[in-house]
Amino acid sequence: MTEETAMTEEQSPVLDVRNVSVGFRRRRREPLFQALDDVSLTVPRGTTMGLVGESGSGKSTLAKAVLGLVPTQSGSVRLLGQDTTHLGPAARRKLGSSLQAVFQDPNSSLNPSYSVGRSLAEPMLAQGIRSREIIARRTERMLEDVGLDPAAAAKYPRDFSGGQRQRISIARALMTDPQLVICDESVSALDLSVKAQILNLLADLQDGHGVGYLFISHDMSVVRHICHDVTVLYRGQVMEAGPTRLVTQEPAHPYTRALLLAAPVADPAVQRKRRAIATAGELANGAPQPGSGCPFAARCPVAQERCRQTRPEARTTADGRTVACHRYPEWQSEITTDIAR
C-alpha cells in the first residue's frame, strides 16, 4: 500500500451510503413497496450520524442494508472505503471486526443461557480469535469501560437490570474494536434517567475508542443530545440532512418541524398545543395519497399543487444542509419555525 493510498483510506468516511433503494413485496402479487428510495448518507470517522423518522420511515431497513441483512435494488454501501453492497456470507462475517450493532431490546440480544463472558466472547470467536487470555483481558477491559465490574462476566443476563443489560450489549459490540456501531433504537426502551446514562456512556466510549455511530431513533430530543449530524427520513426518502444544531434549531423541511413539535415536553398543555400544530396539515389535506410528488405533501401545512405532482430534488442550502422541499425557504415565513424546548 502506498503512502498516498493509506492517507486516502484514513480520510475516507467510515460509512458511505449512496443512492440506496430497497423494495419489498408484502404479498406475492402485490406491487413493490419501496422501503428506501434513493437514500444517501455519510458517517465520518469518530462521529455520530443520527437517522430519525417515524415508525415505517425506513430507518431499520437502512440499518439492515448496511449490515447485509436485506438486498439492495440499487446504490452502494461502502464501509471504510470497501464496497460491501453485495458481499457473500464469508466476506460479510469478516466485517465483524469493523462493523457491529446494538439493538433496542437487550433481552432478545443476549442469550439467557450464556454467561456474560461467553456472550462477549462471541464476536472475537467469530473473527477467529481463540486465545482465552486475549478474550479474558478484552472482556475485563470492556466491562470496565461500560461501568460494570469485571466479575459480571461470570453472571447471566437475568442478574442485571435493563440498563445494565444494555451496557453489556454495548460492551459486546465493542469487543472487536469496530470502526462503526449501528445503534438501532438502542435507548428507546429505557427509563429516562437510564437513557441519559447510556447516551453519556456512548459519547464517552466514542471519545475513548474513536468509534463512529449510525444512531437510529424516532426521538429528536435524543438525537439533539448525541448526534453531530442528522438525516431525516420519511416514507423511505431523505427529507433533510445536515448538522444537528442547524436542523433542530431551524428546520428546513416542514416534516422536520413536525418531528420536533412531536418531541415530548414536561408541560402537558404545551405538549397538546405542539402536537395540534404538528398535525394541522394532516387534518387540512386528508390521508396520504400515492403518487410521484413529495411523500409528505398530504400532511404538509404549506403544500401546493406542485408538491403533490412532482418529487422535489434534494438541494444544498446556503448553510450546507441538504433539503428536499419545493417551498424552502419561503415556507418558513408562512408558519412559525420556533421550536419550544
How many other CB atoms are there within 10 angstroms of residue 250's CB atom? 16
Same domain, 229 and 82: yes
pLDDT of residue 336: 65
pLDDT digits 0-9 by tens, 15-53:
999 999 999 887 777 777 889 999 999 999 999 999 999
Please check whether residues 221 and 276 belong to one and the same domain: no
Single out the residue in 189, 212, 247 at which a domain terminates.
247
Claim to verify: residue 149 and residue 103 sit in the same structural domain? yes
3-state secondary structure of 339: coil
Residues spanned by the domain of 31: 3-247
Low-confidence ranges of the chain (pLDDT < 50): 1-8, 266, 270, 277-278, 280-290, 340-341
- CATH number of residue 45's parent domain: 3.40.50.300
- Quote the pLDDT of residue 289: 43
H/E run at residue 125: helix 116-126
Domain boundary among 196, 213, 247: 247
Q: Are residues 286 and 241 in the same domain?
A: no
What is residue 194's predicted lDDT score, i.e. its pLDDT?
Answer: 84
Tell me: do 230 and 141 sit in the same domain: yes
Torsion of CA 101, 223, 48, 91, to 10 degrees: 30
295 shares its domain with 205: no
Domain count, the chain: 2
Query: Same domain, yes or no, for 162 and 283?
Result: no
Residue that is written with C-alpha cell 444537528 in the block: 244
Helix (H) or strand (E) holding 308: helix 305-309
Domain boundary residue, one of 247, 278, 293? 247
